[in-house]
Structures are given as C-alpha cells and as structure tokens.
Amino acid sequence: MYVYWQSQFLSSGTQGEGHWIIPITLCFGSYDVRKNFLLETKSETRDVKELLDSEIAEDKSANSWIKLNVDQAGFYRVKYDELLAAKLRSAVEKRLLSPSDRFGKLDNLLTI
C-alpha cells in the first residue's frame, strides 16, 4: 500500500490550504512497467497490485524500485520512506534511471 497526499507550499515558506488534481506518473522496477493516474483528493491510499498487473507487482515487489514523477514531468516533489528510498538509491547507482530521474531524486533529497 502506498499513501499519496499533497501539501501546498507557498513562496513565503508557509504551508497553504489549497489542493488540486495532480497527474501522478509511476514506474515500477523499469520504465516498461509504468502507470499514470490522477490524485484528485487531499490524500489517497493505493495498492500497487491495483495499479499494475498483479502478477508483475508480486514478481517484482521484493526488490524493485518505484519512481514517482517519472522524468520529472509533474510540478511536485516526492518523499519516499526509507525502504523505497534505499531501493531507488540502488537503481540510481546502477544507472537504471534516466538522467532527469537521477537528478530529480537528488533534488528531492536536498530539499525535503
């Protein structure tokens, strides 16, 4: 299960109250396994098996990385839990991610 939520941050450094529809892009273990959906509420919980073919999710779930905001296409930041961040770091080190996704991961680490 993965929880998606949104918080608005203003240029003043304060947190706003607004929310909007956010297009989420997700890759699971490779760029060939990709899913797009909309985050339409302030918070949503999604099961990877619901998003992807359940057989693919079960085969890859033990050691696969998950990358949100594929190719930095959306104007949002992603905060990964420790386990997902470690798997993503490994994918970065192995150069499994595109250059823009490697940069995006670094940028997220520096600013969140």
- Of the CA atoms within 13 Å of residue 21, those in its CB half-sphere come to 5
pLDDT at 70: 92
Residue 16 has pLDDT above 80, yes or no: no
Tens-digit pLDDT profile for residues 42-70? 778 877 777 766 555 555 555 688 898 99
What is the average pLDDT value for the chain, to the nearest integer? 77
Owning domain of residue 96:
2-111
Phi-psi region for residue 12, left (φ > 0), alpha (ψ -120 to 50) or beta? alpha
- The band of 1, judged by pLDDT with boundaries at 50, 70 and 90, is very low
Q: Which residues contact 63 (CB under 8 A, 6 or more apart)?
A: 87
Tens-digit pLDDT profile for residues 76-88? 778 888 888 888 8
Phi, psi of 5 (to 5 degrees): -145, 165
- The reply to whether the predicted model has a pTM over 0.85 is no
Q: Name the 3-class secondary structure at 110.
A: helix
Task: Say which CATH number the domain at 28 has.
Answer: 2.60.40
Number of domains in the chain: 1
